[in-house]
Each structure stands twice: as structure tokens, then as C-alpha cells.
Amino acid sequence: MENELKVYQSGRVDRLKRMIEKLNELGIDIDFEEVYKNEESTSIGRPHIARVLIRNGVVKDIKEAFDLYLGEGKPAYVPKSFLGVEEALSLIRFFGGKAVLAHPGIYRWKNDFLLHVLSFGFDGIEVFYPEHSFEKKQYFLNLSKKYKIVPTGGSDFHGFEHRYSYLGEIRILCSSVKEIIGDIC
């Protein structure tokens, strides 16, 4: 599994390097090592570049970094590469994992496409998510019942500077936890 994950992690590194190159072309002098220098995580991405831009006085905060340079459609943005749904599900199951469709309410999918994606056979769907409205939560909860998949949830916490909610702020059903990882509650 580690070897497979290294392939995808190297894709993240390549994306990061391409964003840095674009920033350099814009006259913003940062380098790859500078982004990694003060980070404990090995999963480096746009928020880490944003912190370097702040340290170097290019922007005042992470929001400005994304608004001016790193957000979708901005000059240093590089789109992510994604696995196909079937390939991702196969990989997750090969390694004994459970496949959960994360925060479906933030995607700009038409309803038919969401139903098509669910037809690939997910084990769960993230219902309880900070950006899901009450109506979306109800809709996804109903989908979990219809497709007989586990309703899950999460905070989407990515650090204190770039967060939707704090760890532990989103509550999920104990039955969901038991279904995904066993009887611990």
C-alpha cells in the first residue's frame, strides 16, 4: 500500500513544483525546499505554499494567497489529477479499506451524476460535514438508506489557519462507526 501511495504522493509533489514554477514566472521568488522547510507533514499542498507567501510578505493571509494566486482559475493554480472512481474503489478494497464518498455536497454535480457515482458501490457517504446544509444532510442521509450504505461525517480539519470546523465538532452516529471500523463505542 505504501508503494501505491507514494505514486500518488509524487503526483502531489509534481503539482506543487508546477505551482512554484508559475509563481516564479510571476516574479515571486520561492523554491521547493522553502515550502518543505518548516512543515512536519509530508503531504504538502497549496496551504503550505500560502504560508511561505505570507512569511515572504507577498500576501497578508491564506485567503489572499488563494484569492490572488492559488485558487482555481488563478495564475499559479494547477489542477489536481484524480483517480477514476472504479480505480479508486478497487485500490481501497484491495488494501481492505472502506470506500466513502467524501463531502458530496460541495461538488457541482448534477443529481444524476451523483447517483451514477454511487452506483459504483461505495460503502458510505459523508452526510455530516460542516458545509452541508440541513437539507443536504437530510438528502444524503436518505441516499445512504436508499443505497444501503453507511452515513459518515467529518470535520475536514486541515489545520488552524485553514479549517471548516475543529476536530470533534462534527458528530456522527455510533452505528456508523461500528459499521466502518468495528465496535469501539
Q: What is the pLDDT of residues 124-146, one digit of tens each?
A: 999 988 888 889 989 999 999 99
Q: What is the pLDDT of residues 15-49, one digit of tens each?
A: 999 999 999 999 999 998 888 886 666 677 899 99
Sign of CA dihedral 172, 176, 180, 185: positive
Domain ranges of the chain: 2-70, 85-181
Q: Taking the domain 2-70, which CATH number applies?
A: 1.10.150.650
Evaluate if pTM is beyond 0.85. no
- CATH topology for 85-181 is TIM Barrel (3.20.20)
Given 3-state DSSP classes, what are the helix, strand and coil percentages for the chain, each rounded to the nearest 5? 50, 5, 45
Q: What are phi and psi of 98, to 5 degrees?
A: -110, 135
pLDDT at 164 over 60: no
Q: What are phi and psi of 132, to 5 degrees?
A: -85, 125
What percent of the chain has a predicted confidence (pLDDT) above 70? Answer: 81
Cα 40 off chain centre by: 18
Which one of 3-12, 57-66, 153-162 scores highest in mean pLDDT?
57-66
Q: What is the pLDDT of residues 111-127, one digit of tens each?
A: 788 899 999 999 999 99
- The Cα 25–Cα 3 span in angstroms is 33
